[in-house]
Amino acid sequence: MSFPTPSENAARRSKYVRAALLGVAVLVAVPAAAHANAAPHANTVTKEIAAVHADTATATDPVVHKTIATDLQVPWGVAFLPRRETLASERNTARVLSVTPSGKVREVGVVPGVNAAGQGGLMGLAVSPSFARDRYVYAYLTGETDQRIVRMRYTGGRLGAPEPVLTGIPTGTSHLGGRIAFGPDGFLYVGTGDAGTPDSAQDRQSLGGKILRITADGAPAPGNPFPGSPVYSLGHRNVQGFGWDSRGRLWASEFGQATWDELNLITPGANYGWPVVEGQASTPGFVDPLWQWSPAEASPSGLAIADDVIYIAGLRGQRLWRIPLQGEGIGTPAAFLTGEYGRLRTVVRAPGGKLWLTTSNRDQLGTPRPGDDKILSVKP
Ligand SMILES: [Ca+2]
């Protein structure tokens, strides 16, 4: 599979624009002839343009087609429940919100014990793979003395009290990780950060600077690379995004220090180098990233994989990166939506194949725009 260069993208965009204009022309002509007494309805035209777009989807750019929710405060975790209901966490308020596809937002709980200082707060959310039976929703939070994974039962439209699942993840004011997701193997993966103590990333006894893999009850998952340890990979500075491709391979984004942000292919027990090396260093003992960006271009938080294409949301980079998987590696990354919505925090694949994308303009580093923060729906 080849991947378009930026100039090819521009060419494809013009092709799309021509196709869309042609679609409008056809629509205006056809209803006028077929329904001479009825003016074409605006919604029909919009739907038909969308259909033209869908027909040329392989040749088009990711596009925001709908704003799902507005006026949120740093939405961080997004997790999809059955019956088209979605839960979203707000980092600084510790609120958990229920969001419907039509954009109805309702608070279902405020998680106690959250210390939203610095980059911390209520972050990742994950729905139990056996939610229909156990009703558990998992969350990654920054507390007073540590960071931890908790779970709460979601019944009757309300979140119950948090029950600790994994405690002792190092805390601080920065590099706090926070992403959680159940893998295809049914175990819970956790992206942590060095919490401002870089050497913790190389210390197998520390839960900082790692990707962890645990059971639904918080025990080290069977088959982990270091017996009796939740550590799955080490040498990470700050992992806030990961996902699995169609072959079950795990990919993770990582914030660099000042030079290189990273996209890594994660294998169990591997060491990704921080703080000894950053970016592609070709140093024995450390696995190099498949791609690296300057923090100004990326500062990558959330990562989603849809149809074997990786999407990464950039905070400082204020753009959505699209990286096609190709053979054993990747094709050429391309950036979209640059600067259009400000800082982008989380991208997740929604049921049905769209992507949900969140802004992060009400964190300390953002400049809020009207309606911020938002959850957007993107056609990939
Ligand atoms: Ca690295």
Q: How far is the CA of 76 from the centre of ligand 1 (A)?
A: 24
Q: How far is the CA of 283 from the centre of ligand 1 (A)?
A: 10
Q: How far is the CA of 11 from the centre of ligand 1 (A)?
A: 35
CB 231 within 8 A of CB 224: yes
The tokens describing 256, both together, are 């660099």
**Using 50, 70 and 90 to split pLDDT, how confident is the model at 130?**
very high
Q: Of 58, 75, 94, which residue is a domain's last?
A: 58
CB 92 within 8 A of CB 121: yes
Mean pLDDT, range 118-136, rounded to an integer:
97
Q: Is residue 1 part of a domain?
A: no
SS3 76: strand
Mean pLDDT, range 208-223, rounded to an integer:
98
pLDDT at 56: 40
**Using 50, 70 and 90 to split pLDDT, how confident is the model at 35?**
very low
Q: How far is the CA of 325 from the centre of ligand 1 (A)?
A: 20
CB 298 within 8 A of CB 322: no
Q: What is the DSSP letter of 39?
A: P
| Burial group, residue 14, by CB count within 10 angstroms (0-12, 13-18, 19+) | exposed
Q: Of 42, 58, 74, which residue is a domain's last?
A: 58
Residues 48 and 96 in one domain: no
Task: Work out the angle at residue 126's Cα, subtended by the Cα atoms of residues 288 and 279, and round it to the nearest 5 degrees.
Answer: 15
Q: How far is the CA of 355 from the centre of ligand 1 (A)?
A: 27
Task: Work out the angle at residue 222's Cα, subtended by the Cα atoms of residues 217 and 226, and round it to the nearest 5 degrees.
Answer: 110
Closest CA to 95 of 179, 167, 158, 169: 158
Q: How far is the CA of 288 from the centre of ligand 1 (A)?
A: 6
Residues 198 and 71 in one domain: yes
Q: How far is the CA of 67 from the centre of ligand 1 (A)?
A: 35
Q: Domain range spanning residue 152?
A: 64-379
Residues 172 and 265 in one domain: yes
pLDDT at 16: 37
Q: How far is the CA of 287 from the centre of ligand 1 (A)?
A: 7
Q: Is residue 375 part of a domain?
A: yes
Residues 20 and 115 in one domain: no
Q: How far is the CA of 292 from the centre of ligand 1 (A)?
A: 9
d(Cα 184, Cα 129) in Å, to the nearest integer?
Answer: 10
Q: How far is the CA of 259 from the centre of ligand 1 (A)?
A: 11
CB 264 within 8 A of CB 287: yes
Q: How far is the CA of 300 from the centre of ligand 1 (A)?
A: 13
Q: How far is the CA of 358 from the centre of ligand 1 (A)?
A: 26
Residue with tokens 């969140």: 358
Residues 37 and 75 in one domain: no
Q: How far is the CA of 54 from the centre of ligand 1 (A)?
A: 38
Instruction: With 0.95 as the threshold, say if the pTM is over it.
Output: no
Instruction: Give the type of residue at 254.
Output: E
CA 328 vs CA 249, 290, 331: distances in Å: 10, 10, 10
Q: How far is the CA of 367 from the centre of ligand 1 (A)?
A: 30
Q: Is residue 260 part of a domain?
A: yes
The tokens describing 214, both together, are 């645990």
Q: How far is the CA of 29 from the centre of ligand 1 (A)?
A: 57
Q: How far is the CA of 281 from the centre of ligand 1 (A)?
A: 8
The tokens describing 91, both together, are 């980092």
Residues 29 and 51 in one domain: yes
Quick one: which H or E segment has residue 326? strand 320-326
Residues 176 and 265 in one domain: yes
The tokens describing 207, both together, are 């839960």
pLDDT in tens, 289-337: 999 999 999 999 999 999 999 999 999 999 999 999 999 999 999 999 9
Q: How far is the CA of 266 from the centre of ligand 1 (A)?
A: 11
Residues 33 and 74 in one domain: no
Q: How far is the CA of 238 from the centre of ligand 1 (A)?
A: 10
Mean pLDDT, range 276-296, rounded to an integer:
97
**Using 50, 70 and 90 to split pLDDT, how confident is the model at 59?**
low
Residues 92 and 33 in one domain: no
Residues 168 and 20 in one domain: no
Is residue 300 reached through a cis peptide bond, with omega within 30 degrees of 0 on the bond before it? no
Instruction: Give the type of residue at 190.
Output: V
pLDDT in tens, 139-172: 999 999 999 999 999 999 999 999 999 999 999 9
Q: Of 32, 58, 84, which residue is a domain's last?
A: 58
Q: Is residue 17 part of a domain?
A: yes
Q: How far is the CA of 251 from the centre of ligand 1 (A)?
A: 13
pLDDT in tens, 68-110: 999 999 999 999 998 899 999 999 999 999 999 888 999 999 9
pLDDT at 102: 85
pLDDT at 23: 37
Q: How far is the CA of 31 from the centre of ligand 1 (A)?
A: 57
Residues 85 and 232 in one domain: yes
- CATH number of the domain at 371, please: 2.120.10.30
Q: Is residue 336 part of a domain?
A: yes
| Tally of domains in the chain | 2
Residues 162 and 17 in one domain: no
